[in-house]
Structure 1
Amino acid sequence: MIPENLPPLLAEALSARGYETLTPVQASVVADDAKGRDLLVSAQTGSGKTVAFGLAMADELMPDGALDRPAAPLALVIAPTRELALQVSRELMWLYASAGARIATCVGGMDASRERRSLNQGVHIVVGTPGRLRDHLERGALNLAALRVAVLDEADEMLDMGFREDLEQLLDGTPETRRTLLFSATLPRPIVALARTYQRDALRISTVGEDRGHGDIEYQAMAVPPSDIENAVVNLLRLHEAETAMLFCATRDNVRHLHASLLERGFAAVALSGEHSQNERNAALQALRDQRARVCVATDVAARGIDLPSLSLVVHVELPRDAETLQHRSGRTGRAGRKGTAVLIVPYPKRRRVDMMLRSARIAVTWTPVPSADDIRAADRERLLTQLAEPVELDEEDNALGLRLLEQREPHEIAAMLVRLMRSRLPSPEEMLESSEPDRGQRGGDTRTGEHRPGFDDTVWFKMDIGRRQNADPRWLLPLICRRGHVTRDEIGAIRIDQNETRVQIPRAVAAKFAASVAKTAGQGNDESGITIIPADGPPPQAPRGAGAGAGPRGRKPNGPRPASYSARPTRPRR
């Protein structure tokens, strides 16, 4: 239900836009106790913040239900990035269209002289980035003497990006009688300090608990070997075939590498990071909007303010540093009632940390296996059948060509050729470690039966100080053993995982070399989880029935160097 205390022109704009009710943050800022007060609002990305502060400042902009003639700006909205400022401007334009509002947008990368002309002609609302707004203020083009409302959107991000001095200069240039609306996903100490300096008796509003996790976003997580992260990304993209997908990496280098790898595999992908110019960013975003590209690889900062209506899949290729970052990233999808999927790719050694982060953030997540090549082929078949079942209009040329084909081939041959043609246009799925060796869990993970593979009659056992309590799993222990011991997979026999330790079977012919290698690599930072590998005093005891080799429900944070990150650039398996 739209509140009755809104100006009629704005209520009509909301109804025309399809609003039947307000989001929690929107309802909070227009409540009676928020009228006329400074606001310190904590709300997540995608919760409707732009419309919220657009409604909140309506009483100051149009106290009599209508706007005065445009002159010096009445409202100033400051956003951290060009994309977010443009998005805010578009939202305010439809909200205030019936009121005849004139809105000026001032951002880097645009024609500054044109912006100055727009300001000189008179405006009601100015939206911009800190640096460009400060430049206009210093040049005398931006007159803040009549300002009634100042809005800081994504204030935490602006401080993180080093805009404190710009913000202070802009706010110092406004009348003390103005309202200050400060919106921030988080409220760290610098934000609280800024609020104390520039706000008076601010009403604190938090809808984080209500919006947390975004009800329209399905969270999934999948544990993978560190060396298989890139292959997992490929299979996720192929399984979902999303209209638009966004992949998050932590560094520019990783964005560059993953982008190049996806292009090599045949994906239509673009990249966004701090190393790209404004023109490159504009071209990338336009390619996503007109569907010439369907995948965007980005860093956290570069993706700020991007609004892509067709975005339905977010993949956290590298884990976010905390739950707030997770939600900021994921909030790029699942907007305005649309459904979205956010997937975390979790290296096996980091699963416990991710579990704790998700629990603390009260985010419900489903742990799923990485899509296999068979899963993707099955999804492709269903998509093909669905596409062919959709009604289409065929012209005479289409029908004529179809009849010619029927004269030359049998119907089932034409159908098979069509399937083959469509498959040839899609990137091939990758074989994951789990799916490429489906018997590995029995051959290498569980030797309860005492059976030996050929060539493993004369063996030596080694033990590792990690077991089911620490989420030990053959799928990530196997590549670790190969790296530490300088052996191949074929030179590793059984892997027996017990409650607190794991024993590994090595042929006696290579046991001495293996022992020397694990001793040498232990002190060279090659052990990615601090695990100790030493000779065992004999074979493991027979495991009781039901004591399998899978990961247990609990785990510990390994000692030693941090696990290798995605920046190690895993290579594709040879075919």
Structure 2
Amino acid sequence: MTEFDTLGLSPTLTAALHRGKFTQPTPIQAQAIPLALDGHDVLGLAQTGTGKTLAFGLPLIDHLLAEPGKPAPKTAKSLILAPTRELVNQIADSLRPLAEGTRLRIATVVGGQSINRQIGVLAKGTDILVATPGRLIDLMDRRAVDLGTVRHLVLDEADQMLDLGFIHALRRIAPKLGTPRQTMLFSATMPKQMEELSRAYLTDPRRVQVTPPGKAADKITQSVHFLEKGDKPEKLREILARDLDALTLVFARTKHGAEKLMKGLVRDGHNAASIHGNKSQGQRDRAIKAFREGTITTLVATDVAARGIDIPGVAYVINYDLPEVADNYVHRIGRTARAGREGEAIALCAPEEAGLLHQIEKLMKIEVPVASGTKPARPGAAARSGQPRRRGRKPGTQPQGAKPAAAKRRRPRRPRAA
């Protein structure tokens, strides 16, 4: 495979990669980096855990090192937008070691933290600004940041930004950016709306796709248990008891459900914590740090809060509730089997979730192996198998050609005798 040294990166960056013990680029990195170094707009499609951050981060830093001068106060030379606070912090943490020892400044702005402190940081100017769209607009409204000098734009996990409704924020931010500029858009999936987004914000982009959309990492072992909804708590505890020291990420559909599930696990003696939208940024950061260090072994999360979690040691992902959007299943199980490791993804499927599982299997073009229970028949399976389909009329309807039945006449009451 191609070595980082041969991709055309500056000696400063190749030295930083060697210090970080990065020697072999991933497929998305090997294909995207040379294109981005040449100044092309890039549309990158790859599943989670394949190294997308360095695929855009390395050429971005390389370009900035070649540009003279420091950023003026309240300005940024480049902008990276990501959908969640966790992902913003992860991106910044990945890029800082690569910029260490250089003049480049990296700043983050996210909700849930002191906006006055962020205003103070931006007042000095920054080379790389990593932000969530909502907080960035708050800072723009306060005239705390001028984006007119931005010549490099990165949209990371763009599909998730669309799901969260950030397209409206992007329409406000994009006109404020400098031109001409290089734009890189990275995503794990490519819904129709993403095509429209790329046409609107990318110019003659080079498309890089290393895995088909909806395909999970090869080293993930998947299985599903079919059971009643009320039996899920007992099954979850049974699965966790198999390996109490393993790092396990459990996905719930709602914030309330995640919190309730976590409290039940803690009562049972599990080292558990939760992250969801009702938690403060400090609480979420502390929970992820404890999970990364192994102090917490079970982390219960919702989709939005868990986006961007990059912890190589996650051994199991349990879908306690199946996601309503099939793409999110791929993102969820992509939290395991990272950095070349193996992982296991386990789904708990109640009868009312059978349709959701069908959509997931249709997207991934596989059937998830059944670990226990009986898989319900797909809708319309009887008709496809050649069995006669019962044809009955809807309740309350008349057979074709039948006359409506005459309404019954109520016989008038006789007046009572006084």
Letter aligned with residue 135 of structure 1: D
Q: Give the aligned partner of residue 347 of structure 2.
A: 344
Matches of 2:138 and 2:353, distance apart in 1: 45
Matches of 1:298 and 1:123, distance apart in 2: 32
State the secondary structure of the residue aligned to 1:18.
coil
Alignment pair present for 1:215 and 2:218: yes
In structure 2, relative to structure 1, the CA distance for the partners of 1:145 and 1:314 (3 Å cut) is same
The alpha carbon displacement at 1:359 in A equals: 6.1
Matches of 2:105 and 2:356, distance apart in 1: 49
Contact 1:26 1:55 (8 Å CA) reproduced: no
The alpha carbon displacement at 1:350 in A equals: 6.0
TM-score, normalising length: structure 2? 0.80
1:98-177 map, 5 Å: 98-177=101-180
CA offsets 1:387-425 (integer angstroms, 9 cap, x no match): xxxxxxxxxxxxxxxxxxxxxxxxxxxxxxxxxxxxxxx
Q: Give the aligned partner of residue 566 of structure 1.
A: none
Matches of 2:218 and 2:156, distance apart in 1: 23
Runs of 4+ in 1 over 4 A off after TM superposition: 348-353, 362-366, 467-471
In structure 2, relative to structure 1, the CA distance for the partners of 1:350 and 1:284 (3 Å cut) is closer
CA offsets 1:130-173 (integer angstroms, 9 cap, x no match): 12212222323212222210111112212222222221222111
Q: Give the aligned partner of residue 84 of structure 1.
A: 87
Q: Give the aligned partner of residue 184 of structure 1.
A: 187
Matches of 1:263 and 1:362, distance apart in 2: 37
Matched residue count = 376
Match of 2:246 among 239, 243, 246: 243
TM-score, normalising length: structure 1? 0.60
Match of 2:335 among 306, 320, 332: 332
1:475-490 map, 5 Å: none
Match of 1:224 among 222, 227, 242: 227
Q: Which runs of 5+ in 1 are unaligned?
A: 370-433, 435-466, 472-499, 501-522, 524-575
Alignment pair present for 1:8 and 2:45: no
Match of 2:360 among 331, 336, 357: 357
Letter aligned with residue 306 of structure 2: A
Contact 1:61 1:148 (8 Å CA) reproduced: no
Letter aligned with residue 195 of structure 2: V
Which structure would you say has the larger Rg?
Answer: 1
Q: Give the aligned partner of residue 22 of structure 1.
A: 25
In structure 2, relative to structure 1, the CA distance for the partners of 1:8 and 1:346 (3 Å cut) is same
Matches of 2:264 and 2:96, distance apart in 1: 40
CA offsets 1:522-571 (integer angstroms, 9 cap, x no match): x9xxxxxxxxxxxxxxxxxxxxxxxxxxxxxxxxxxxxxxxxxxxxxxxx
Letter aligned with residue 109 of structure 1: G
The alpha carbon displacement at 1:32 in A equals: 4.5
The alpha carbon displacement at 1:258 in A equals: 1.8
The alpha carbon displacement at 1:322 in A equals: 4.7
CA offsets 1:418-461 (integer angstroms, 9 cap, x no match): xxxxxxxxxxxxxxxx9xxxxxxxxxxxxxxxxxxxxxxxxxxx
Q: Give the aligned partner of residue 57 of structure 1.
A: 60
Alignment pair present for 1:69 and 2:106: no
Matches of 1:310 and 1:56, distance apart in 2: 28
In structure 2, relative to structure 1, the CA distance for the partners of 1:352 and 1:115 (3 Å cut) is closer
The alpha carbon displacement at 1:239 in A equals: 0.5
1:355-504 map, 5 Å: 357-358=360-361, 360-362=363-365, 365-369=368-372, 470=377
Matches of 1:41 and 1:229, distance apart in 2: 38
Letter aligned with residue 201 of structure 1: D
Matches of 1:16 and 1:39, distance apart in 2: 27
Letter aligned with residue 339 of structure 2: A
